[in-house]
Amino acid sequence: MKRLRGIIAYVLCAVMIACPAFMTQVNVAYATTAGALDQARDDYEDTKDRIEETSGEIDDLTSEQAELQESLDALNTKLEAAADVLERLDAQIETTKTEIDLTWGKIEELSAQADMLQEKANEQYELVKAQIKYIYECGDTMYLALLRGSGTYSDYLNRNSYLEMFAEYNQTNINNLQETGKALKETQAKYEEELIKLEQEKAELDEYEQAVQKQYEEIRLMVEEASGKVADYKARISNAEARLAEYESQLAAQEENIGNLEAQLDDELQKTVEASNAEWRELDNITYDASDRKLLANLIWCEAGNEEYLGQVAVGAVVMNRVMSSVFPNTIVGVIYQSKQFSPASSGRLALALSRDSATESCYKAADAAMSGVNNIGSCLYFRTPTSKVSPKYVIGNHYFY
């Protein structure tokens, strides 16, 4: 066993001296999943910050929405008040229109009555004129007939008085008709004045209604605008709440991931300690299955297919270090398919590569070298992509080995 380790160290030194451009040894320090764990914790804190920021955003949006809602409520109150004013104005205008129609009716009725009285007065006047003309033209004959028809002088005087009373009655009747007509005209004039006032009042009401209607439309547009803003804030709050729920779900997943990484770290620490204290199997005692070469070459292709040859050898050497360590399975198949060790094996990418035999000639060459005992990473059992959280033993290509 000691002889094997000496050979490995010799080969490692030879490779490092021959290829300094592709391999840089850094400060030897133990690094494990701690890098990923630190990154996970940083991500966890970032998510907490996002939750706090989003919660603050929701509070701000809710406060602004409340102010907008308050303004909207005030506008709706004004809109309702304007609608009430318009309703009252409409009722008042309708009442005024009814009064105007009634006044017009009264004026027309009075006008008709005045015309009728005037016509009667004219007829009465014409009758009196005819009587006076008759008396003037036939006065002697009329009085002689009156005298002959009277039995006594007293009777004659009485009949004469009757004629005078009749004439006086006609004159009085004419005067009454004229006075009544005059009164009707005066009343008609008053209604006409009232009609003018009513029409002026209606014109003022119409003008006021137009002003209130304009104000109502302005307030309605403001209500629509404010309602749109409130709806927009509701949508923004809803989106922020959805993001918050997503962040909270993400935080829970990150908590679980941190727990898994902590458990994985403990497992790696334990296995590293066990590996350093445990016996290593002799390379000569390891047997290979016919498919092991293809399996290892395709794993190298999945993990380091775009790396230089030394990086591909290093990945193969990690697999062989685990095969030789008594704390890992003693076969290439067992090591590669061990649970939660190589992501291509669990993701299905390795199976796809095997079905296509994607491994290049360089990957097969690196697999052959590793299986024959070539090792350029010492006793490292893990590798990963670079991160500032990890202090590796070796940096080869784009991988940290520890």
Residues 17, 63: one domain? no
Average pLDDT across the chain, whole number: 79
184 domain residue, yes or no: yes
| pLDDT attached to residue 29 | 27
Domain C-terminal end among 191, 224, 245: 245
| pLDDT attached to residue 163 | 57
Q: Structure tokens of 274?
A: 């066990």
pLDDT band for position 316 (cuts 50, 70, 90): very high
Instruction: State the total domains in the chain.
Output: 2
89 domain residue, yes or no: yes
| Residues 184/110, Cβ–Cβ less than 8 Å | yes
User: What CATH number does residue 98 fall under?
Assistant: 1.10.287.1490
For residue 341, the 8-state DSSP code is: T
Residues 82, 197: one domain? yes
Dist. CA 279–CA 324, nearest whole Å:
9
Residues 81, 201: one domain? yes
Structural domain that includes position 129: 57-245
Distances (CA, A) of 35 to 25, 40, 387, 393: 18, 9, 7, 14
Q: Structure tokens of 307?
A: 């790396």
216 domain residue, yes or no: yes
281 domain residue, yes or no: no
Q: Pick the range with the lowest mean pLDDT from 123-132, 145-154, 356-365.
A: 145-154
Task: Tell me the pLDDT tens digit for each residue of 327-346.
Answer: 899 999 999 999 888 889 98
Q: Pick the range with the lowest mean pLDDT from 104-118, 288-302, 344-358.
A: 104-118
Residues 175, 301: one domain? no
166 domain residue, yes or no: yes
In degrees and rounded to multiples of 5, residue 250 shows phi and psi of -65, -40
| pLDDT attached to residue 144 | 58
| pLDDT attached to residue 31 | 40
Residues 7, 139: one domain? no
State the pTM of this model.
Answer: 0.49
Task: Give yes or no for residue 149 having a pLDDT over 60.
Answer: yes
| pLDDT attached to residue 16 | 39
Task: Give yes or no for residue 370 having a pLDDT over 90.
Answer: yes
Task: Give yes or no for residue 176 having a pLDDT over 60.
Answer: yes
| pLDDT attached to residue 127 | 73
pLDDT band for position 42 (cuts 50, 70, 90): confident
pLDDT band for position 148 (cuts 50, 70, 90): low
Dist. CA 117–CA 176, nearest whole Å:
10
Contacts 24+ apart (CB under 8 A), 79-87: 79/216, 79/219, 79/220, 79/223, 82/212, 82/215, 82/216, 82/219, 83/216, 85/212, 86/209, 86/212, 86/213, 86/216
Residues 177, 234: one domain? yes
pLDDT band for position 361 (cuts 50, 70, 90): very high
Domain C-terminal end among 214, 245, 276: 245
Domain C-terminal end among 215, 245, 275: 245
Distances (CA, A) of 328 to 288, 335, 341: 16, 7, 11
39 domain residue, yes or no: no
User: What CATH number does residue 327 fall under?
Assistant: 1.10.10.2520
Residues 126, 239: one domain? yes
Residues 194, 235: one domain? yes
User: What's the whole-number mean pLDDT along residues 292-300?
Assistant: 95
Residues 165, 303: one domain? no
Q: Pick the range with the lowest mean pLDDT from 75-89, 132-146, 255-269, 354-368.
A: 132-146
Task: Give yes or no for residue 390 having a pLDDT over 60.
Answer: no
Task: Give yes or no for residue 355 having a pLDDT over 90.
Answer: yes
46 domain residue, yes or no: no
Q: Structure tokens of 23?
A: 């391999």
| pLDDT attached to residue 385 | 77
Which comes out higher in pLDDT, residue 156 or 297? Answer: 297
Residues 208, 339: one domain? no
Task: Give yes or no for residue 220 having a pLDDT over 70.
Answer: yes
Task: Give yes or no for residue 14 having a pLDDT over 60.
Answer: no
Residues 103, 177: one domain? yes
pLDDT band for position 1 (cuts 50, 70, 90): very low
Residues 6, 86: one domain? no
**What separation, in Å, do the N-terminal and C-terminal C-alpha atoms of the chain show?**
22
In degrees and rounded to multiples of 5, residue 291 shows phi and psi of -90, -5
277 domain residue, yes or no: no
